[in-house]
Amino acid sequence: MDVTDDVRAIIAQSLKIPVERLTPDTRLDELGAESLDVIEIVFGLEEKFDISIPFKADEGTRVTIGGEQMEFSTVRDVANIVQKLVAAKERAKAS
Amino acid sequence: MNRVVVTGIGVVSPIGNTRDAFWSELVAARSGIGPIEGISTNLFTTRIAAQVRDFDPLQHFDAKRLTLLDRFSQFAMVAARAAVADAQLALTEEAALQTAAIVGNAAGGQTSLDEGYYKVYALKSPRLHPLTIPRLMSSAAVSQVSMDLGIKGPTFTVASACSSGTHAIGQAFQMVRTGQVPIAVTGGTEACLTVGTIKGWEALRVLSADTCRPFSKTRTGLVLGEGAAMFVLETREHAMARSAPIYAELLGFGMSADADDITAINTEGAARAMRSALTDAKINPEDVDYVNAHGTGTALNDKGETAALHIAFGPSAERLAVSSSKGVLGHSLGAAGALEFAATALALHHQTIPPTANFEERDPDCDLDYVPNTARNAPLRNAMSSSFAFGGLNAVLVLGRA
């Protein structure tokens, strides 16, 4: 499952910008996303995919998932994190 | 204009429920942060808080009266009684008519609210306790303080999130200074460690998983706390006439609003409140020896507050001692400013700077003297206590040695 389109839609909706402005390489900070915007995006993603993203304001653009540090800067980064957490959720469900 | 002094201090805190216990733990940098007890934590990931421990309400109130008292009112009442006793103040009928009670509080009776909602939504209970509303209103604490001590002068609650306690004390200070009342019982109280509020704080993504490390590069966020601190303020003349003990003199109060971000500190706004407090106190930046900082242990606050101190103090910032008490006390929101005012007044009284606890590593963006981990004896002439609340509401008090 490719989550990129959903991720783009949620970011666009949170920032109130047209989804066309978002490519995989677009950085959240260049869109003017401030800390509260970012946690709203995180919340939107968690609600949409029923996952928990261990994002902390003080860790800036990094998220630690299962001991692995992952970047949280671009649309692609965010999609990668969501993808990983969704896959982990599916695996947990299957087992 | 009257000179205004602090003659009584009462605290209920994560590090002890007497003034002396509070001060000795604060100076020793022994943190009150620990595993959450007494609240079901299965609905959240947060495992730590700075809770008030060893507080048995039945030691202070009979069972009948307790049905009216949310935890945040209990804290305020116990602290207010201690402050009045500490000041050796007899609130006679005549004095009570001229005494103000002003208490800061951010969140109201959250324990009552949380329990009530749980009963209605989860347990499908058809009814709530008849005293639910008088228990949870945010003015309940100050109302109960007034009834408990018989205070009949101006009495109300001040709400400005994390600046509530500081705004309340500042308001009381102004009323005593201008002669509206000769005595005020004032401070702040908070008890909002409930499942609902902790979930809300988790959603802001600012809570630390281990501990609070203000101004340290290794900081991981803030830790919620609870408690109350209450004070007796009175005119210096009134205090001298009755030979009352004097901890410190209140010299100035500064306020500002950022009109900017709902959560982030604005350096200009914070600096304006500090400068306004210095102007009100009629002292210069170089006359201040110690600042008890807001110091929440988030990157945004600590870096922003440091920049604000540079703006407000200019070159004098270099020789200023700055410490945050939140590594020890956690962040008790509406009570924080009051507990930190107690720390500041006691620092002047004991001529000792309480340290910034849990400090591990210097942050290049935080370049002041944060008095890391070890208290310091130093001649302190004047000191400042700062609060910078969500919503950009800033309040700063300046005190002088008695």
Partner A contacted by B262 (CB < 8 A):
yes
What is residue A1's predicted lDDT score, i.e. its pLDDT? 63
The B residues from 294 to 313 touching A (CB cutoff 8 Å) are 298-300
* Cα–Cα distance list, B298 to B44, B170, B247, B363 (Å): 20, 26, 31, 12
What distance in Å separates residue A52's CA from the closest CA in chain B? 11
Comparing CB atoms, the residue among B205, B261, B262 nearest residue A57 is B205
The token pair at B202 is 């988790």
Comparing CB atoms, the residue among B219, B221, B263 nearest residue A36 is B263
The C-alpha torsion from B288 through B294 and B295 to B300, rounded to 10°, is -120
Enumerate the residues of chain B whose CB falls inside 8 A of the CB of residue A32. none
What is residue A60's predicted lDDT score, i.e. its pLDDT? 74
The A residues from 72 to 91 touching B (CB cutoff 8 Å) are none
Partner A contacted by B266 (CB < 8 A):
no
- Tell me the C-alpha distance between B331 and B201, whole Å: 12
CATH number, domain at A20? 1.10.1200.10
Do the beta carbons of residue A17 and residue A51 sit within 8 Å? Answer: no
Domains of chain B: 4-241 (3.40.47.10), 251-401 (3.40.47.10)
Q: Please write down the HEC assignment for all residues of chain B.
A: CCCEEEEEEEEEECCECCHHHHHHHHHCCCCCCEECCCCCCCCCCCCEEECCCCCCHHHCCCHHHHCCCCHHHHHHHHHHHHHHHHCCCCCCHHHHHCEEEEEECCCCCHHHHHHHHHHHHHCCCCCCCCCHHHHHCCCHHHHHHHHHHCCCCCEEEECECECHHHHHHHHHHHHHHCCCCCEEEEEEEECCCCHHHHHHHHHCCCECCCCCCCCECCCCCECEECEEEEEEEEEHHHHHHCCCCCCEEEEEEEEEECCCCCCCCCHHHHHHHHHHHHHHHCCCHHHEEEEECCCCCCHHHHHHHHHHHHHHHHHHHHHCEEECCHHHHCECHHHHHHHHHHHHHHHHHHCEECCECCCCCEECCECCECCECCCEECCCCEEEEEEEECCCEEEEEEEEEC
Enumerate the residues of chain A whose CB falls inside 8 A of the CB of residue B217. none
Which residue carries 């994190």 as its tokens? A81
- Tell me the C-alpha distance between B201 and B358, whole Å: 22
CB spacing of A34 vs B262 below 8 angstroms: no
- Tell me the C-alpha distance between B213 and B25, whole Å: 17
What is residue A8's predicted lDDT score, i.e. its pLDDT? 95
Q: Is the pLDDT of residue A25 over 90?
A: yes
- Tell me the C-alpha distance between B380 and B8, whole Å: 20
Enumerate the residues of chain B whose CB falls inside 8 A of the CB of residue A43. 203
- Tell me the C-alpha distance between B140 and B74, whole Å: 10
User: Quick check: is B60 catalytic?
Assistant: no
Per annotation, catalytic residue among B294, B310, B349, B366: B294
Enumerate the residues of chain B whose CB falls inside 8 A of the CB of residue A35. 263-264, 300
- Tell me the C-alpha distance between B368 and A54, whole Å: 32
Question: What is the residue type of B133?
Answer: I
Enumerate the residues of chain B whose CB falls inside 8 A of the CB of residue A55. 205
What distance in Å separates residue B266's CA from the closest CA in chain A? 14
What distance in Å separates residue A64's CA from the closest CA in chain B? 13
- Tell me the C-alpha distance between B260 and B265, whole Å: 9
Q: What Rg, from alpha-carbon coordinates, does chain A have?
A: 13
Does the pTM of the predicted model rise above 0.90? yes
In chain A, which residue's Cα lies nearest the Cα of B303?
A58
- Tell me the C-alpha distance between A75 and B190, whole Å: 40
Mean pLDDT across the stretch A20-37? 90
Do the beta carbons of residue B380 and residue B289 sit within 8 Å? Answer: yes
* Number of domain units in chain A: 1
User: Quick check: is B238 catalytic?
Assistant: no
Cα–Cα–Cα angle for B116, B122, B126, nearest 5°? 65
Per annotation, catalytic residue among B162, B192, B212, B366: B162
CB spacing of A39 vs B203 below 8 angstroms: yes
Which residue of A46, A55, A56 is the best one to mutate when testing the B interface, meaning the one whose CB has the most B CBs within 10 A? A56
B259 class by beta-carbon count within 10 Å (0-12 exposed, 13-18 middle, 19+ buried): exposed
User: Quick check: is B162 catalytic?
Assistant: yes
CB spacing of A55 vs B205 below 8 angstroms: yes
Q: Which domain holds residue A81?
A: 4-94
* Cα–Cα distance list, B143 to B120, B138, B188, B336 (Å): 27, 10, 13, 20
Pairing of strands B99-104, B183-190: parallel
What distance in Å separates residue B265's CA from the closest CA in chain A? 12
Please, which residues bridge with residue B225 across strands?
B50
With cut-offs at 50, 70 and 90, classify the pLDDT of residue A67. confident
Do the beta carbons of residue B100 and residue B168 sit within 8 Å? Answer: no
Tens digits of pLDDT across chain B (402 residues) = 999 999 999 999 999 999 999 999 999 999 999 999 999 889 989 999 999 999 999 999 999 899 999 999 999 999 999 999 999 999 999 999 999 999 999 999 999 999 999 999 999 999 999 999 999 999 999 999 999 999 999 999 999 999 999 999 999 999 999 999 999 999 999 999 999 999 999 999 999 999 999 999 999 999 999 999 999 999 999 999 999 999 999 999 999 999 998 888 999 999 999 999 999 999 999 999 999 999 999 999 999 999 999 999 999 999 999 999 999 999 999 999 999 999 999 999 999 999 999 999 999 999 999 999 999 999 999 999 999 999 999 999 999 999
Give tens-digit pLDDT for B347-379. 999 999 999 999 999 999 999 999 999 999 999
What is residue B40's predicted lDDT score, i.e. its pLDDT? 87
* Cα–Cα distance list, B362 to B218, B220, B295, B401 (Å): 8, 14, 14, 30
CB spacing of A34 vs B261 below 8 angstroms: yes
At residue A61, the 3 state secondary structure works out as coil
